[in-house]
Amino acid sequence: MHDALASGVVVVMGTGGTIAGVSTTGRDQDYLAAQLDVTQLVAAVPTLATQPIESLQVAQLDSKDMGWDVWRALVQALSEALARPDVLGVVITHGSDTLDETAWLLHLLAPPLKPVVLTAAMRPASSVEADGPRNLADAVCVARWAADQGLAGVVAVLEGKVWAGTDVRKAHSRDIDAFDGGGAEPLALVSDGQVMPIADAVWVPPRGQWLQSMSALPHLPRVEIITSHADADGAVVDALLATWPASDERRLRGLVVACTGHGTWHRELEPALLRARRAGVVVWRSSRVARGGVESRPDDTWPVAGRLTPAQARVVLAITLALRAPPGPG
């Protein structure tokens, strides 16, 4: 068990979400996400009042509407904050819906120097049982603890659990304990300002150095997700191929197939996927099944996305194509 020891500035970046949400009727179910600014979120946590914290509003949205414009602003802000010697780590308040995608984006792009801690809430800030203040307090605590331990990495802190950013995903649409690691265990538990690491848990440092260069990118290469299901055929794939000419920078560059089982798809889908591949589109297989993903095999003719969910795989493939130097799904 460790106390949160490190002093130095933690920058809390606000992006919106339910954690900043306010009920419109007094009932927790009826609320608008992204109503309070990040200084209000920090002010609602008494234990943060005595700590060196800086708040920065980077965006204000329901994370279901996440996109490259917001990610680019976040990437730029993160790049500046992490470069400051007085900053020991960054906490990002986020909506729960696409937190897993942002976590992978930052894992691929952030330099392996300092902790970056995402947090969210399942109840709006106006709820008498709001989970946001506790999650935010825990997230700052984990940032200080990790910096003190010399740990870099993108993690998510929710309901007293610290998840690797590469594992975390939303696993329940309503429960307050809504996240899991897709089969992986948490890295640590956190409670009352104490971080309790799980034995043998490994913090994987971020892979990138590309925050600065990516912040200039006007858009990500277009990568779409399609699902294999009963009656699936290639109509959607062909429609995507036909929508933009090869000269158009918005053209389809990648496809992630949310496959059945361990990476299979409907036989009627295959001809269109072959046409897409011949047109230069990179096709990855992921699984629509919640656990297990798709492992690579020596006789694979189509690349696999490993344990990534389809939404995570889409981010990784888009960044891979943007950098032209594949981080890949591994």
Q: Which residues are catalytic?
A: 18
Whole-number Å distance between alpha carbons of 191 and 142: 10
Query: Where are the strands (E) in 127-208, listed by range?
Result: 153-158, 161-164, 169-170, 179-180, 188-191, 194-197
55 interacts with ligand ASP by CB under 6 A: no
237 interacts with ligand ASP by CB under 6 A: no
Beta-ladder partners of 214: none
Question: Count residues contacting ligand ASP (CB under 6 A)?
Answer: 11
64 interacts with ligand ASP by CB under 6 A: yes
Nearer to ligand ASP, 18 or 309 (CB): 18
Burial of 145 (0-12, 13-18, 19+ CB in 10 A): buried
133 interacts with ligand ASP by CB under 6 A: no
127 interacts with ligand ASP by CB under 6 A: no
Q: Applying CB under 6 A, which of residues 10, 13, 17, 101 lies at the interface with ligand ASP?
A: 17
The DSSP result for 246-264, as a single string, is TT-TTSEEEEEEEEBTTTB
CA nearest to 124, candidates 46, 24, 224, 205: 24
Q: Find tokens 């980077």 and name the residue.
A: 58
Q: Applying CB under 6 A, which of residues 10, 18, 93, 163 lies at the interface with ligand ASP?
A: 18
122 interacts with ligand ASP by CB under 6 A: yes
Nearer to ligand ASP, 130 or 305 (CB): 130
Nearer to ligand ASP, 135 or 215 (CB): 135
Stretch of residues binding ligand ASP (CB under 6 A), selected from 60-68, 148-156, 194-202, 219-227: 60-68
124 interacts with ligand ASP by CB under 6 A: no
Tell me which residue has its CB nearest to ligand ASP. 95
63 interacts with ligand ASP by CB under 6 A: yes
CA nearest to 328, candidates 292, 287, 296, 280: 296
CA pseudo-torsion sign 314, 198, 179, 19 = negative
Stretch of residues binding ligand ASP (CB under 6 A), selected from 36-44, 95-103, 143-151, 211-219: 95-103
Helix (H) or strand (E) holding 310, with range, is helix 310-323
97 interacts with ligand ASP by CB under 6 A: yes
35 interacts with ligand ASP by CB under 6 A: no
Whole-number Å distance between alpha carbons of 215 and 211: 6
Whole-number Å distance between alpha carbons of 87 and 78: 11
Stretch of residues binding ligand ASP (CB under 6 A), selected from 50-58, 93-101, 209-217, 289-297: 93-101
Q: Applying CB under 6 A, which of residues 14, 89, 95, 206 lies at the interface with ligand ASP?
A: 95
Q: Applying CB under 6 A, which of residues 4, 13, 33, 92 lies at the interface with ligand ASP?
A: 33
Stretch of residues binding ligand ASP (CB under 6 A), selected from 49-57, 90-98, 243-251, 259-267: 90-98
233 interacts with ligand ASP by CB under 6 A: no
156 interacts with ligand ASP by CB under 6 A: no
Please list every residue from 245 through 304 that binds ligand ASP, using CB under 6 A.
Answer: none
Q: How would you write 70-102 as a 3-class SS string?
A: HHHHHHHHHHHHHCCCCEEEEEEECCCCCHHHH
Residue 80 tokens, joined:
């500046």
Q: How many helices (H) and strands (E) does the chain have?
A: 8, 16
Residue ranges that bind ligand ASP, judged by CB under 6 A: 17-18, 33, 62-64, 95-97, 120, 122
